[in-house]
Amino acid sequence: MDYIFVPIILIFGFGLKSRYKIFTAKDHILLDQLFFYHMIMSFIFYIYLRLNGGDSFLYWNGVKNVDFSFFANSYINNPRPTSTMWLINYIPSNLLNLDFFTGCILYGVFGYWGMLYILLTLKKFFPLLHDLKKIKILNFSIFPTLFFMPNFHFWSAGVGKDTLSFFVICLCIYALLDIKKKIYYVVIPVLLLYFIRPHILLFLFSGLAGAYLLKSKLLLFQKVFIVAIGFVLFLPLLNSVLEFANIDAANVEAFDEFSSSKARALSKAGSGVDLGALPYPLQVLTFLYRPLFFDAHNVLALLASVESLIWIILSVNFFRNQPIKVFKHSNYFILGGFLFWIIGALAFAPSMSNLGIIIRERNMFLPGFIIFAVAGLYNTPKFRKYEWWLKSQVTNSTGFKSSVNKKL
């Protein structure tokens, strides 16, 4: 059965780009490269889990010999994230009896699909996306290099909540660009994210809603009214988040205790960082930009430090190039991506002390980071000059003004 499904899954994934007419021939080349690279990462993920073990085996193999009625009753009584993963994997793992390798390929395609949605979103905002390759640092083009960062792919390439969360976040951001036509793209994925990572759903919609309110032209009392309605609607979600984190009450003491207990537990792991000894701003910076070279203790950590350096370069570039102006004159999704990224860091930083877990959790916020980071590249003086030159060339050759200088 696996010999039949693996080729079908790969053919489906490779052909996904053809579903979206906005992609050009250059986009197809990039997407083909991303697809093969991502599928290699799925294979590496499979080998890594075979050698080291992990929750992914539990998510896939835990339902192979379980009667569905027993499984359904246990899920109804305790709908935890692990139970949700068992429910999702029941058909491919139990009924079809597919191997864990096939599961990694299947999930890997969903991870790649998420990256495809990031590119779709960027194409909506940045007509000259591929021309960003002219922006180089140390003779490397930042775009599309940032799409080939190893950890960016690894944690969205195999069976697990991380891959599904990544896919749903990318899909939601893309669908919300035209919610009236793509409402069906949002409802089911949002429900899925609610059951596997409710806190991430809360961060995502808090960031996007906050950006929409800040950039809207509504009167102050209207904004206050919307915030009040949003607060009422999100109370059930907040309760689920607190239950997920095993916090008894939403008060400062409970959150402090939760953060301390998580830090103590995670510091026992091999790549621990004593975040408790750091002031809160440094905890946030650690979550966003470590490991760095002085943290590297093996080849994988060294690769991760190179990736962290790329994120630092992109962040510095963004904040050097009139970020307030970018937020003011761009689509609210640019600000929403930033708020989603920073809210996640502010919330997670006190509870993370293992660099491996930091990298894994940070990956879910990278779709928001990439959106506003690319906006920063688009706003560099060098690229603005190129954009002005291209506009003049198009105007001179056609007699009409180009649309390349429209709002981000």
Residue matched to tokens 């009040």: 228
pLDDT above 90 (res 133): no
For the ranges 7-11, 74-78, 141-145, the maximum mean pLDDT occurs at: 7-11
Q: What is the DSSP secondary-structure string of 169-204?
A: HHHHHHHHTTTTT-HHHHHHHHHHHHHH-HHHHHHH
Among the ranges given (136-150, 213-227, 238-252, 279-293), the one the predictor scored with the smallest mean pLDDT: 238-252
How far is residue 354's CA from residue 360's CA, in Å, rounded to a whole number? Answer: 10
Residue 276 pLDDT? 60
pLDDT of 171 > 60? The answer is yes
3-class SS of residue 6: helix
Per-residue pLDDT at 102: 93
For residues 114, 115, 116, 120, the Cα torsion angle rounded to the nearest 10 degrees is: 100
Task: Out of 151-160, 185-194, 232-241, 296-305, pick the least confident.
Answer: 232-241
Predicted confidence at residue 405, as pLDDT, reads 42
Give 255: exposed, middle or buried? Use CB within 10 Å, 0-12, 13-18, 19+.
middle
Residue 399 above 70 pLDDT? no
Burial class (CB in 10 A: 0-12, 13-18, 19+), 158: buried
**Res 230: pLDDT:** 65
Neighbours of 111 (CB within 10 A): 30
CB atoms within 10 A of CB 46: 22
Per the document, the length of the chain is 408
Q: What would the pLDDT profile of 90-99 be if each residue is shown by its tens digit?
A: 888 888 888 9
Q: Is 341's pLDDT higher than 60? A: yes
Q: Are 215 and 332 in contact (CB under 8 A)?
A: yes
Q: Are the CB atoms for 348 and 287 separated by under 8 Å?
A: yes
At 104 the pLDDT is 93
Closest CA to 121 of 172, 186, 166, 184: 172
- The residues near 110 (Cβ < 8 Å, ≥ 6 apart) are 163, 164, 167
Q: Cis before residue 281, ω within 30 degrees of 0?
A: no
The region of weakest confidence among 8-12, 272-276, 285-289, 329-333 is 272-276
Phi, psi of 291 (to 5 degrees): -80, 150
Per-residue pLDDT averaged across 2-18, rounded? 91
Q: Which residues contact 201 (CB under 8 A, 6 or more apart)?
A: 190, 193, 194, 237
Q: What are phi and psi of 287, to 5 degrees?
A: -65, -40
Instruction: Please say whether the beta carbons of 154 and 101 come within 8 A.
Output: no
Q: How far are the Cα atoms of 51, 84, 161, 294 from residue 80, in angstroms, in the given order?
A: 27, 6, 12, 38
d(CA 292, CA 70): 47
Average the pLDDT over 131-138 and give the result.
Answer: 75
- Start-end of H helices in 53-126: 55-61, 68-77, 81-89, 100-125
pLDDT at res. 11: 94
Share of the chain above pLDDT 90, in %: 17
Average pLDDT, whole number, for the chain? 78
**pLDDT for position 269:** 43
Question: How do beta strands 136-137 and 140-141 pair?
Answer: antiparallel
Residue whose entry in the numeric block shows the structure tokens 């069976």: 159
Q: Which own/partner pairs from 78-82 qualify as long-range (CB within 8 Å, at least 24 positions apart)? A: 79/195, 81/161, 81/195, 81/196, 81/197, 81/244, 82/55, 82/58
